[in-house]
């Protein structure tokens, strides 16, 4: 099933919707606690996408793909290397992402697979971890790359990753998707810049849930951005970036 949140002209709120082809069935309630159909159906065209869930935490992975590690001479990690992004950095499909002030420096795109947590996970076993995954979505984990190491005394991962719009994800959450056979492509201004197999991860989604849950409680709606591979480059303002995962969808945003 594909779940989205949306808004529409003249109506308050951002209701839930289940996407069925070109139609959206409207639901009420909590996405992760048996939402109820209202009986209303709407055409998908004309709806404005909202982020498909409201994450309390956004966890991002660094150095989680073998090809990128080997090309850059990075050691293969023994455990997940991660950072946190502000939940306020979330942006929806087709939402414009504002460029930070010029003094921040260059900003790069990073096409990624995102895991959506469906039930609370605290120190779960590896066998239990897959059952804590609600579904998957496309993500663009933007980074202010020059800001990261501007101060030699303190790497600024949180600031560099948390400007408004720097965690774009969507267009929906797909509950029936197997990342092991998936491929991610990132198109920048219509030109393919990334094309990599999701199976190249050091730590696949269920293992990420298992390992992260040993450190922190993962709650319904939390996002895990699985990291990116080769092809990351800075963008110019006005650039359209599309993250495409076959069987999952296309996330499209204009930067700047």
CA–CA separation, 17 vs 35, rounded Å?
10
Q: Residue 138: give its domain's CATH number.
A: 3.90.850.10
The answer on 90 and 56 residing in a single domain is: yes
CA–CA separation, 135 vs 118, rounded Å?
8
The answer on 63 and 153 residing in a single domain is: yes
The answer on 217 and 98 residing in a single domain is: yes
The answer on 182 and 212 residing in a single domain is: yes
| Residue among 227, 252, 13 nearest 114 (CA) | 227
User: Which domain range does residue 7 map to?
Assistant: 2-49
| Residue among 16, 11, 9, 95 nearest 53 (CA) | 16
From first to last of its 256 residues, the chain has per-residue pLDDT tens of 999 999 998 888 899 999 999 999 999 999 999 999 999 999 999 899 999 999 999 999 999 999 999 999 999 999 999 999 999 999 999 999 999 999 999 999 999 999 999 999 999 999 999 999 999 999 999 999 999 999 999 999 999 999 999 999 999 999 999 999 999 999 999 999 999 999 999 999 999 999 999 999 999 999 999 999 999 999 999 999 999 999 999 999 999 9
The answer on 9 and 61 residing in a single domain is: no
The answer on 61 and 8 residing in a single domain is: no
Chain centroid to CA 172: 10
Count up the domains in the chain and report the number.
2
Q: Residue 19: give its domain's CATH number.
A: 2.30.30.370
Q: What is the pLDDT of residue 9?
A: 85
What global pTM score does this model have? 0.96
The answer on 124 and 179 residing in a single domain is: yes
The answer on 171 and 104 residing in a single domain is: yes
The answer on 175 and 207 residing in a single domain is: yes
Of the residues 10, 29, 49, which one is the last residue of a structural domain? 49
Q: What is the pLDDT of residue 117?
A: 98
The answer on 248 and 179 residing in a single domain is: yes
Residue 243 pairs with which residues in a beta bridge? 186, 251
| Torsion sign over Cα 92, 107, 58, 189 | positive
The answer on 103 and 43 residing in a single domain is: no
Q: What is the pLDDT of residue 11?
A: 86
């Amino acid at each position: 099933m594909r779940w989205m949140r949306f808004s529409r002209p003249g109506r308050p709120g951002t209701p839930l919707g289940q996407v069925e082809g070109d139609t959206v069935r409207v639901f009420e309630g909590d996405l992760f606690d048996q939402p109820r159909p209202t009986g209303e159906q709407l055409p998908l065209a004309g709806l404005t996408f909202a982020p498909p869930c409201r994450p309390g935490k956004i966890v991002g992975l660094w150095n989680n793909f073998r090809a990128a590690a080997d090309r850059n001479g990075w050691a293969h990690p023994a455990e997940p290397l991660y950072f946190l992004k502000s939940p306020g950095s979330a942006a929806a499909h087709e939402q414009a992402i504002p460029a930070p002030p010029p003094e921040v420096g260059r900003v790069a795109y990073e096409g990624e697979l995102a895991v959506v947590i469906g039930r609370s996970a605290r120190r779960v076993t590896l066998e239990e971890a897959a059952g804590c995954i609600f579904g998957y979505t496309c993500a663009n984990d933007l980074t202010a790359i020059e800001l990261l190491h501007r101060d030699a005394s303190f790497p600024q991962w949180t600031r560099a990753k948390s400007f408004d719009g720097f965690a774009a994800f969507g267009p929906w959450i797909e509950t029936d998707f197997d990342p092991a056979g998936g491929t991610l492509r990132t198109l920048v201004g219509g030109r393919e810049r990334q094309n990599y197999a999701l199976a190249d991860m050091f730590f696949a989604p269920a293992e990420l849930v298992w390992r992260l849950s040993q450190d922190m409680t993962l709650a319904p709606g939390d996002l895990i951005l699985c990291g990116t591979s080769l092809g990351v480059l800075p963008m110019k303002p006005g650039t359209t970036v599309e993250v495409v995962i076959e069987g999952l969808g296309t996330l499209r945003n204009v930067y700047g």
